[in-house]
Amino acid sequence: MNRVGLLFGSFNPIHNGHLAIASYVLTHENLQEIWFVVSPHNPLKESSQLAPEHHRLRMVEIALENSEMPFWACRVEFEMPRPSFTIETLQLLSLKYPANQFYPIIGADSLASIEKWKDYTQLLEKYCLLVYPREGYNLYELVIKYGVHPVNAPLFNVSSTSIRSRFINGERPEQLLPKGVLDYILSFNLYNSPTQ
């Protein structure tokens, strides 16, 4: 079986923290590839705060084009009903790619709210979730509670929310973004409005 990690996200925008987490998980969890699953509409997030989905997908593609790692942009949720539910995405991917064994990669903050997810008990039973630490969350309490696999990655204190705030404040946080992503954001004027 080909062991594939799935890093789900809105990627609004993708940033270096996403790539650092993916790199750590790939090298420490015996995975062959990581797919960045771009979610057009996360049911737990306000869609009005998202840049248009095609822009978010394109930014992921640009970020991964410049990576030497076996990372791929995955647009499977673009072909599914909205909003996207992780369990349904996993079921579809498992049907389409039966030679792959999929490992969802999520942060401790997402695991803390997993009981809001559709069919979360089925998700925990059928898939091995790889969970990385996030500031303010006790990863090991969550691991014991939900029986998931902890990833001892370092904390990456960068978020898409903070990056959008910097753009609104007139900054250009080039050091936080993969090569090419800043130019793309500026060319389409994506994050200059407080509503995004």
pLDDT in tens, 144-153: 999 999 999 9
**Cα 51 to Cα 40: distance, rounded to the nearest angstrom:** 10
The yes-or-no verdict on residue 169 having pLDDT over 90 is yes
pLDDT at 196: 47
User: Which single residue is written with the structure tokens 């790939």?
Assistant: 26
Q: 66 falls in which pLDDT band (50, 70, 90)?
A: confident
Percent of the chain with pLDDT over 90: 88
Is 5 in contact with 31 (CB distance < 8 Å)?
yes
pLDDT at 47: 63
**Cα 103 to Cα 125: distance, rounded to the nearest angstrom:** 12
Structure tokens at 50: 């998202």
29: CB partners within 8 A, 6+ apart: 5, 103, 130, 149, 151
pLDDT at 43: 73
Nearest CA-CA partner of 17 in 161, 130, 170, 129: 161
CA triplet 67, 8, 174: central angle to 5 degrees? Answer: 45
- Tens digit of pLDDT for each residue in 68-124? 999 999 999 999 998 889 999 999 999 999 999 999 999 999 999 999 999 999 999
Q: 171 falls in which pLDDT band (50, 70, 90)?
A: very high
Backbone angles phi, psi at 64, to 5 degrees: -80, -25
